[in-house]
């Protein structure tokens, strides 16, 4: 898929690489099949289904770039080494772009990188952040190694259940993401409980007022 050459110095490195390649192909085929079948079940257009199938096939391709680096390290990698390993998402995106594939994450990532303040918003599903937000956080993984500008992170969430505990897991999940960025901190959250239908948040005056006051501080 790419003309980039990975230099392997020993037979053992070649063995590791071949094993990783075999695992990546089998894993990619499974993800591609499952995701495309789900897309078809949801009634998406065939063009979109094809894109999803391709994305599933190559989503972990960046790991092949770091195989020579991690082989033999086992579970004893240091934090800095782990940060390099986590760059496989960016490496995979670079390969995909070289081959003509792409999406809008590059534009989103650039805006996040240059922002001084970030406010994440999510509905609460099953006491957790929605899947779209989790996917976004995962896709922003390459910002680890950049000179990002953001410092203050906030969260706005809505939940059908009218209890503060409904937001805890989602908040802790975002805290985990923030903890990986040493210069940033999670400053707080506004939670709107009892919001169980579309276009009803405006009826919850207290939650709207809290969100408004938060916005004034930014």
Q: What is the mean pLDDT of the chain?
A: 84
Are residues 90 and 62 in contact, defined by beta-carbon separation less than 8 angstroms? Answer: yes
Handedness of CA 158, 159, 163, 169 (dihedral sign): negative
Q: Is 43 left (phi over 0), alpha (psi -120 to 50) or beta?
A: left
Residue boundaries of the structural domains of the chain: 11-102, 107-217
Per residue in 110-167, pLDDT tens? 999 999 999 999 999 999 999 999 989 988 988 988 999 999 999 999 999 999 899 9
Question: Strands, E, within 33-113: which ranges?
Answer: none
Fold of 107-217: Rossmann fold (3.40.50)
Rounded-to-integer distance, Cα 89 and Cα 201, Å: 36
pTM of the model: 0.62
């Amino acid at each position: 898929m790419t003309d980039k050459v990975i230099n392997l110095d020993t037979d053992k490195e070649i063995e590791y690489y071949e094993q990783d390649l075999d695992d990546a192909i089998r894993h990619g085929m499974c993800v591609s099949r499952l995701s495309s079948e789900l897309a078809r079940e949801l009634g998406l257009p065939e063009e979109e289904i094809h894109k999803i199938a391709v994305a599933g096939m190559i989503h972990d391709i960046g790991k092949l770039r770091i195989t020579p680096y991690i082989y033999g390290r086992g579970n004893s990698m240091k934090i800095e080494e782990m940060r390099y390993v986590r760059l496989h998402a960016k490496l995979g995106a670079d390969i995909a772009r070289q081959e003509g594939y792409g999406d809008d994450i590059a534009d989103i990532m650039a805006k996040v990188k240059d922002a001084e303040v970030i406010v994440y918003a999510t509905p609460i599903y099953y006491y957790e952040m929605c899947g779209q937000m989790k996917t976004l956080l995962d896709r922003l993984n390459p910002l680890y190694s950049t000179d990002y500008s953001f410092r203050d992170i906030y969260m706005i969430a809505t939940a059908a259940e009218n209890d503060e505990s409904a937001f805890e897991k989602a908040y802790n999940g975002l805290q985990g993401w923030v903890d990986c960025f040493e210069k940033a901190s999670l400053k707080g959250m506004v939670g709107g409980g009892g919001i169980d239908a579309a276009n009803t948040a405006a009826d919850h005056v207290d939650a709207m007022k809290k969100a408004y006051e938060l916005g004034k501080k930014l």
